[in-house]
Amino acid sequence: MKCDVAIVGAGPSGLILAHLLRQAGLEPVVLERRSKDYVLSRIRAGVLEKTTTNLLERLNLADRMHAEGLVHEGFHLADGEKLIRIDLAELTGSSVMVYGQSEVQRDLIDAIPARGVEVVWEADDVALHDVDSDAPRITYSKNGTSHTLEARFIAGCDGFHGPCRKAIPETVGVTHERVYPFGWLGILADVPPCDDELIYANHANGFALASMRSATRSRYYIQAPVDTNLDEWPDERIWDELAVRLGPEAGGRITRGASIEKSIAPLRSFVFEPMRHGSLFLAGDSAHIVPPTGAKGLNLAASDVTYLSDALIAWFKQGDQNALDGYSSRALARIWKSERFSWYLTSLMHQFPEHSSFEREMQRAELDYIANSRAARESIAENYIGLPL
């Protein structure tokens, strides 16, 4: 089989890229290790920047988002007692869209047949060959039969654990990494949210986040050790802890209910550069990870593939090599700023085991500064709604 661009991974990066390339008349093929149902069942952050909603509009994939998504004109930081509102609308004239990543993923998958995007689900043993040549290939197997996919370019949209980044020789790339000494214990429940807006709380017991999927479905998180045994956290214990950490006002408004999902996720900051080697281009989680504080992961995936599709289309349509040559540095300029903001918000809002009273006082003073300084709130708001492309 032959195609213009072989895309490894059918997460948000891979599918948005495939739709963008199809819209321009190119022929991508997507290879995904998992089944369609598995990909649809993954639960992840759901705060979309304007640049991401614009992109979905450009793809004519935004109808359900506009019908069911929630426009948020602000969010809160909590310091254990009071709520500090970051008024996005007033500070930036903009807003964010709360729409779960699973829903974005469903919209992308539902449009596959009508748009003529080819996706091979449950493609096993994906291996990249000759990526430093003009004729790269991917071998894979499906239902026990071996196949070869020839392409002019390969897009590595295969997430943090996929094979594409590993196909770049270690001597060529540089890794920057910070692993945080805690994780997020998440709970999803069919109960109304405790507030109309998201609340990120810094509490002596640890961070907490109140988020939502709809007016009747809530998503909450608490900071917990990565090796936490979920059996030790029955629902009631999580609700009790959320009520304390979110502070008296929001904590008192929590509606409790049975969890429909419960999981623990590690927190990591990670960047691999450059995001290109020969005919292979990395996009999304395959090249970078942000901790979820600020919900930048999906938005960064969307900006990467916007840059990458522009560059690939310029190459195929005009023979322009410059855009492809500039892809990695263009994408990294935005990535590093989102890395900074995610790291900053993580550092500000969590309890770190190595912190002394000095660092805790620094957090307290910074939250007090944010509460009383429009300039500080404006800077947070500008980053939260998303920096320009």
User: Three-state SS for 336?
Assistant: helix
Q: How far apart are CA 386 and CA 260, in angstroms?
A: 31
Which residues touch 235 (CB under 8 Å, ≥6 apart)? 187, 189, 256, 257, 258, 259, 262
> Per-residue contact track with ligand PHB, 109 to 148, x per CB under 6 A?
----------------------------------------
Q: Is 72 a catalytic residue?
A: yes
Q: What does 294 bind: ligand APR, ligand PHB, none (CB cut-off 5 to 8 Å by kind)?
A: ligand PHB
Q: What does 211 bind: ligand APR, ligand PHB, none (CB cut-off 5 to 8 Å by kind)?
A: ligand PHB
Q: How far apart are CA 206 and CA 227, in angstroms?
A: 16
Q: Rule CB under 6 A: is residue 74 a binding residue for ligand PHB?
A: no
Q: What does 13 bind: ligand APR, ligand PHB, none (CB cut-off 5 to 8 Å by kind)?
A: ligand APR
Q: Where are the alpha helices (DSSP H) in the chain?
A: 12-23, 36-41, 50-58, 63-68, 88-92, 101-110, 112-115, 235-245, 247-251, 297-318, 322-349, 357-372, 374-385
The two structure tokens encoding residue 84? 């500090």
The two structure tokens encoding residue 309? 């599709």
Site for ligand PHB in 32-51 (CB under 6 A): 45-47
Q: Rule CB under 6 A: is residue 10 a binding residue for ligand APR?
A: yes
Q: Is 296 a catalytic residue?
A: yes
Q: How far apart are CA 104 and CA 97, in angstroms?
A: 12
Site for ligand PHB in 179-218 (CB under 6 A): 198, 211
The one catalytic residue among 19, 292, 327, 350: 292
Q: Which of 56, 131, 298, 381 binds ligand APR (CB under 6 A)?
A: 298
The answer, yes or no, to whether the previous bond of 274 is cis (omega within 30 of 0) is yes
What is the pairing mode between strands 259-273 and 288-289? antiparallel
Q: Which of 293, 303, 306, 309 binds ligand PHB (CB under 6 A)?
A: 293
Q: Which residues are catalytic?
A: 72, 200, 292, 296, 384
Binding region for ligand APR (CB under 6 A):
8-14, 31-34, 39, 44, 101, 123, 126, 157-159, 162-163, 284-285, 297-298, 301
Binding region for ligand PHB (CB under 6 A):
45-47, 198, 211, 219, 292-295
